[in-house]
Structure 1
Amino acid sequence: MPSSEFELDVVLLALAPEVDPRYERLYGYLQDDVNRRLPTVGLALDLLTVTARERTRRHFGAEAPLLGRRVLRLEPDPHTEAAPVADRFLVLDEQIVDVLLDQGSLDRRLTAYCELLAPPPAPLEDEALYRMVRDAWGRAPLRLYFQGPPGAAQRRTAEALAGALAVPVLAVDTEDILHDDAVLELIFREATLQGVLLHLDDVESPCTPALADRLAAYADVVTLAGSRPWAPTKRRPLGVLTVPCPPGEATRRRTTWRQALAAYGAEAAPADPDALAVRFRPSRRPTSTCRSSVEGYPSR
């Protein structure tokens, strides 16, 4: 995101047509060309700088924050061949536009891989795990690996954590994207911008270099789920903590509900027994599905 007042002003300049289309006519007038309905680098420098020393294009270099972090991109004028940098249009990334306009929805490019969920009010059964996540939330990076076989309720545990924190959860199916750095960048930025708990399903250890780089740069809490024991990456230490998730009580509850529904001839969607197992328990004292290995974790 912008790291200076100038960069913030550039973002607002590019955002204006998304707020009110009349800015397109204004930009055409200011640039003396009705076809230039978006602000250009030159217009930004004209409006936001005073001295020749300030009029530098370093803010629009490939490694500068605005472009390097893909907050915006520079698009050439389709009516001009080989347009210089000053004549290129400032176009905000649609993910940034959605967040700034408080759309509250998932980036459209991520819908094939992600779900943005408001978790059900299910109790979290591991107080030590909750305290650890609560203490790190918004303050320090924390990487938790929920290890267990399929059906061990790793995602349910992440949802319960998110519910305890009163935040949504961004659940990601990573099967097809573990090597796609561009998509992973969008996912991690989406989690940051939305202020949600990021949960990555189907992460097999050791993780890919692309995922390792994103995990290393992520400054908040992320949970991962996989079946094999976590193996440290060769590139850099990530400090991943393993939380064992045996197929215990949760699996038995789902089986019980499936058998009960079948006995009464009730038709149920595949997700219904899971939802019933989370909401309705056979005893007053719940047993943990994903039990952390940090039972003695102290409160701060």
Structure 2
Amino acid sequence: MPPTSGIPPTDLEDLWERLGRIERRVRHAVALRRDTDPQPDDPFRGQYLTPAAAERILDSRDAFLPVPVPASAQGPGATPDSPAGGRIAALAERFGLVEPDVDLLLVAMAPDIDARFERLYGYLNDDLTRRRATIDLALELCGLPAAGSGRFRFSPSAPLVAAGLVEVLEADRPLLSRVLRVPDRVTAHLLGDDEVDGRLHGLVRVAGPEEEPEKAPAKAPEDGPDLCRTTLRVVAALGTGSGLVHLLDRGGDPGRLAADALLAAGLRPLVVDVAALATAPDPVRTAQILATEARLSGGGLVLGPLEALAPEQPKGAGVIEGLCEAVGGGSPLIMYGKKHWDPLWAAESPVTVHVLPPDPADAARRWHRELTAAGSSTGLAAGTAAAGARLTDATRAYRLDSGQIRRAAAVASRLAALESRPVEAQDLRTAVRAQNGAGLARLARRIEPTVGWDDLVLPPSTRHQLSDLALRARHREQVLGRWRMRPGGGRGRGIVALFAGESGTGKTMSAEVVAADLGMELYVVDLSSVVDKYIGETEKNLERIFVEASDVNAVLLFDEADAVFGKRSQVKDAQDRHANVESAYLLQRIESFDGIAVLTTNLRANLDEAFTRRLDVVADFPVPDAQQRLALWERCLGTEIPRASGLDLRTCADRFELTGGSIRACAVTAAYQAAESGRPLDTEQLVSAVLAEYRKLGRLVLDSEFGPWLERTRRGD
């Protein structure tokens, strides 16, 4: 055969040579089979099995015979029978099996271990196409009555079937003629394989000491007394009753805590992907497989956050109930979420444990460990990636779980490795922003801050209020979380600020500066996507925004907030009543918010007075004075635009009372005029831009303000 086009001849020659070797092996096997077959030319071969042929099968090789081991290779005190029954005994104990159940399981499993049993079972079934044990055959081989209690060992509630150890197939047939099958995972477990069931691929991951060594409390006493105390409480809860535990997330890391507790109890943590479970074709069947896997491996299940299952919906509640029922106390089940447990979710209520925010010192230690591990894997020198005091300060405002810290540390280390330098604070901030989900970006406009404190021109009092906002954001976990300085009333650990001042005084820019100082992104809420004419839809839209904002490290900005957070009025009609309902909802929701929110308004008097008590910081943005206006002119014009020698910015600052936003607009307009004229920017062009801004704002043009430039600009017009 000529070589195939595009394939080197040497590759084809190697392929043909290997296929030839396989063919020779097949020919040899056929020859051996014919030598031992008394009727090699039987035309009905394979369609029946004679008693003599059954005897020959029984006399052939035995897959169950152990490989002989020399006595010298056995350990002291070992006997040939010592390993027997180890896993079988453990399986019987975990699943509550009695001796007849074990015998029935082994009968059903035999064809999966030795292919001879396929033909033998076909012979005994009087049908070579049915090569697995039927219920009748299994009961016969185990000496159990088919017409008595034996058949009930394969009922849906029997241990073998309920636990998923044996599957009863062909439900349309009579009970005794139904075929039995043992899942591959059960067979593999008894043969010594501890890999997770292949049917759970992409649904479960094993969190063990080799993945995150610091998770085991016994090996990490530096995690802090509070964390160890909470972990031990969860361990104690696992040993009571059904082992069902609910971790109520109050800003901590419940997923990590659940793995801690299972490891401390000597169990294998099986972390379930909630999104994959919710979209499984048959969640009830998947829950059964999860429960079987947990029992087989001697582990416990970790499920969360429960909000991803939408437990308030029948389907989500059904998944939770199905998993709780499938586990049935056979193995621990730890579920976590931010919502309180609803008794309607399952027949049995769990033990609830509150998970508080981690101590800042514990978070710093985790950053140090993860950065050190990530640095070694990316090739950074030892200690290069370790988190020092400056890096600890850079991450103080973030709320991250252990998985997010691990991923952020890996990204930061890779960014530093690209330039062969130590990890810097900016690397951590970039890596943390990469952990923010895209959910909030679909509801608000995302801005990556590009300004800093030096770009602000504000009175000292306003700058102090902005600094106070950043300070609160950095230390809120310690003050509100660990010290519990905001107890009771369902109050969250959020920070809410109000920026009040005229348009153009720098409110939005200040929010961007605060976000940049905290290393976060700024999300500006588009009120047009929030306010809805239909009753109740505005509250739903705001709720989605608040929920998404609570889970990201970002600053949420409500621009022109008085449009949503307005005063409640006297009820005169149905429209007033529903408007008051919206305001009342916002009063409650803003108080339970766990993120960082900034409200801006041009008219502070339009806000409901009840919001004032719920605000942490109120910053007033006055119209800039002459000195501040001069600084604004200098910053807005920058250093790149050519300036005429007679450009008089001092006079412009003294004469024209403009806000920062208007000064920036005037600077841009003047720059366009200078570009068109081809000469450096002069005072006349600047005043012409101011005049255009006055007209745009509808302000009076007075001779006392413009002086001699007014007539010049008019002649220019």
**The 10-residue stretch of structure 1 (246-255 or 56-65) with the greater mean CA deviation from structure 2:** 246-255
Taking the TM superposition and a 5 Å limit, the aligned residue runs for 1:1-300 are 1=95, 3-49=97-143, 54=148, 56-76=150-170, 83-119=173-209, 120-122=212-214, 123-124=216-217, 125=223, 126-137=227-238, 140=241, 141-148=243-250, 152-178=252-278, 180-204=283-307, 208-215=317-324, 217-226=328-337, 228-234=338-344, 236-246=347-357, 249=360, 254=367, 256=395, 257=409, 262=415, 265=418
SS in 1 for 2:340: coil
**The 10-residue stretch of structure 1 (176-185 or 34-43) with the greater mean CA deviation from structure 2:** 176-185
Q: Distance in 1 between matches of 2:268 and 2:152?
A: 38
**The 10-residue stretch of structure 1 (51-60 or 200-209) with the greater mean CA deviation from structure 2:** 51-60
How much does 1:41 deviate?
1.6
Equivalent residues of 1:178, 1:208 under 8 A apart: no
SS in 1 for 2:306: coil
How much does 1:91 deviate?
0.8
| Misfit runs of 4+, over 6 Å | none
Q: Distance in 1 between matches of 2:349 and 2:419?
A: 47
Distance verdict in 2 for CA 1:19–1:47, change over 3 Å:
same
Task: Mark the runs of 5 or more structure 1 residues left unpaired by the alignment.
Answer: 275-286, 292-300
CA root-mean-square deviation: 3.8
Paired-residue identity, %? 24
Equivalent residues of 2:235, 2:261 under 8 A apart: no
Residues 29-86 of structure 1: per-residue CA shift (max 9 Å, x gap): 4334433321112211222226676475333334444334433223349xxxx64333
Partner amino acid, structure 2, of 1:181:
V
User: Which residue in 2 is equivalent to 1:277?
Assistant: none
Q: Distance in 2 between matches of 1:62 and 1:167?
A: 28
Equivalenced residue count is 268
SS in 2 for 1:192: helix
Task: Mark the runs of 5 or more structure 2 residues left unpaired by the alignment.
Answer: 1-94, 218-222, 368-393, 396-408, 433-477, 483-717
TM-score, reference length from structure 2: 0.33
Partner amino acid, structure 1, of 2:130:
R
SS in 2 for 1:170: strand
How much does 1:198 deviate?
1.7
Distance verdict in 2 for CA 1:52–1:247, change over 3 Å:
closer
Q: Distance in 2 between matches of 1:36 and 1:213?
A: 33
Partner amino acid, structure 1, of 2:189:
V
Q: Distance in 2 between matches of 1:241 and 1:13?
A: 43
Q: Distance in 2 between matches of 1:42 and 1:83?
A: 12
Q: Distance in 1 between matches of 2:156 and 2:244?
A: 31
How much does 1:221 deviate?
3.1
How much does 1:174 deviate?
1.3
Partner amino acid, structure 1, of 2:274:
T
Q: Which has the bigger relative contact order, CA under 8 A and spacing at least 6?
A: 1
Equivalent residues of 1:146, 1:223 under 8 A apart: no
Equivalent residues of 2:103, 2:142 under 8 A apart: yes
Distance verdict in 2 for CA 1:101–1:196, change over 3 Å:
same
Q: Distance in 2 between matches of 1:17 and 1:246?
A: 53
Q: Distance in 2 between matches of 1:154 and 1:59?
A: 40
How much does 1:23 deviate?
2.1
Residues 200-227 of structure 1: per-residue CA shift (max 9 Å, x gap): 122126671431353363354332232x
Equivalent residues of 1:145, 1:223 under 8 A apart: yes
How much does 1:241 deviate?
1.1
Distance verdict in 2 for CA 1:240–1:164, change over 3 Å:
closer
User: Which residue in 1 is equivalent to 2:651?
Assistant: none
SS in 1 for 2:105: helix
Distance verdict in 2 for CA 1:55–1:28, change over 3 Å:
farther
Q: Distance in 1 between matches of 2:145 and 2:259?
A: 53
SS in 2 for 1:143: strand
How much does 1:2 deviate?
6.1
Q: Distance in 1 between matches of 2:419 and 2:286?
A: 41
Equivalent residues of 1:145, 1:230 under 8 A apart: no
Distance verdict in 2 for CA 1:4–1:29, change over 3 Å:
same
Distance verdict in 2 for CA 1:266–1:39, change over 3 Å:
farther
Q: Distance in 2 between matches of 1:69 and 1:57?
A: 17
Which has the larger helix fraction? Answer: 2
TM-score, reference length from structure 1: 0.71
Q: Distance in 2 between matches of 1:39 and 1:266?
A: 65
